[in-house]
A and B are shown apart, each in its own frame.
Chain A
Amino acid sequence: EPEVTQTPSHQVTQMGQEVILRCVPISNHLYFYWYRQILGQKVEFLVSFYNNEISEKSEIFDDQFSVERPDGSNFTLKIRSTKLEDSAMYFCASSLNLGAFFGQGTRLTVV
């Protein structure tokens, strides 16, 4: 069964460093998303991407964040200068028309 894959599974970075989280969505899906979940809390929407551009973004998705779909298969989330409060599980998801399919997540720890 097709699945969304994310790498790395765990990333530890120093405050102020840039990180890139990678995702390979399900191949025939059209909509791509990034969400985050701080430990024990709800899933929070960051950004959606459709037709090679951002279709919606939340207040969390400020100038420190950017997304790219560089080659038609990968979908990346970049955080330019990480802060302690960026520590969370980051989920990539993709959708065709019915529900969103989530990857296993990348646990980002900022120290």
Chain B
Amino acid sequence: GQQVMQIPQYQHVQEGEDFTTYCNSSTTLSNIQWYKQRPGGHPVFLIQLVKSGEVKKQKRLTFQFGEAKKNSSLHITATQTTDVGTYFCAGQGSGGGADGLTFGKGTHLIIQP
């Protein structure tokens, strides 16, 4: 079955430093989605990437989808304490919305003031 690998598992940064998490799928995806989960919270949808090579920005967050639609990255510029949480990528197969999401293990972002 589809597998989604995500690295690193943990990332400690000083406030103001940049942060990147990487995601790789064993199969070609119809889309990839990114979620943020605060400690004790639920996954919150950040963005969905659909097109090969797509790059999307949300303020300090930049999301990329690889040309082969098998890998993706999330980059945060100048981290702030509000960025703390676990960032998950999640791939969706050819069935689109009818298919479930395969989540990566997530990257825990820890920010030191």
Please report A residues at the B interface, Cβ cutoff 8 Å: 30-31, 33, 35, 41-48, 50, 55-56, 58-59, 91, 95-105
Contacts and interface: CB of A to CB of B under 8 A. Distances in A.
- The winner among B33, B35, B95, B101 for most chain A CB atoms within 10 A is B101
Interface of B: 1, 33, 35, 41-45, 47-48, 88, 90, 95, 97-106
A105 B43 CA distance: 10
A42 B106 contact: yes
A42 B98 contact: no
A100 B45 contact: yes
A31 B34 CA distance: 18
Contact of A43 (B41, B88, B98): B88
Contacts of A47: 100
**Chain A contact residues, majority secondary structure:** strand
Given A99-B48, A102-B42, A102-B43, A42 B33 contact: no
B98 A102 contact: no
A91 B48 contact: no
B88 A42 contact: yes
Contact of B43 (A43, A48, A98): A43
B103 A42 contact: yes
B97 A31 contact: yes
B54 to A, nearest CB: 14
